[in-house]
Structure 1
Amino acid sequence: MARKQSWSELSGGKKVLVVVVSLAQLALTVAGYRDLAKRSADEVEGSKLAWGVAMLANWVGPIAYFAKGRKGLGLND
């Protein structure tokens, strides 16, 4: 197995990529929490608390919430 590189060992392009991907993940998570906070419990499939916890799971949680957690969008009806 290859040794993980430290931040200082990464090239400039790789550093930019890490920052961009991290910001995209953060934006997706913030958007998910914001949407969850604005919706009533009736507009959410399942428990709002459970979705809040699920969104802590990197990319999977927020994507699952947007795909399956919201009611009334014509996708889950």
Structure 2
Amino acid sequence: MHHHKKKTWKELSPMARFGTVMAAAVQLSLLIAAQRDISRRPAEQIRGSKALWRMVTLINFIGPGSYFAFGRKNLPVGRVS
């Protein structure tokens, strides 16, 4: 069995560092967007409890994505006449 030692930040290539920073920025943006939506959306428009969804959104990528995909109830769309 071969064990790989984790690379330190200094050992990463510039592209790997950039990718890491970009992934972190996307994750943080999703987290902020989900938390803001939970705060502003009335509880009756959210499936389950707000507290539970706040915890779920802390899971990297999966949490905020799950909230936006499944946590929000679809609002009726007004017809344009």
* Structures share fold, TM-score greater than 0.5: yes
Percent identity over paired residues: 39
DSSP 3-state at the match of 1:57: coil
Decide which of 23, 31, 34 is 2:33's aligned counterpart.
31
User: RMSD of aligned C-alpha atoms?
Assistant: 1.1
Other-structure match for 1:53: 55
Other-structure match for 1:17: 19
TM-score (norm 2): 0.86
- Counterpart code for 2:35: Y
Rg larger in structure: 2
Other-structure match for 1:64: 66
Decide which of 7, 12, 23 is 1:5's aligned counterpart.
7
DSSP 3-state at the match of 1:21: helix
**Structure 1 residue runs without a partner (length 5+):** none
Q: What are the superposed Cα offsets for residues 29-54 of structure 1, whole Å, 9 maximum, x if unpaired?
A: 10000111000110100000000011
DSSP 3-state at the match of 2:52: helix
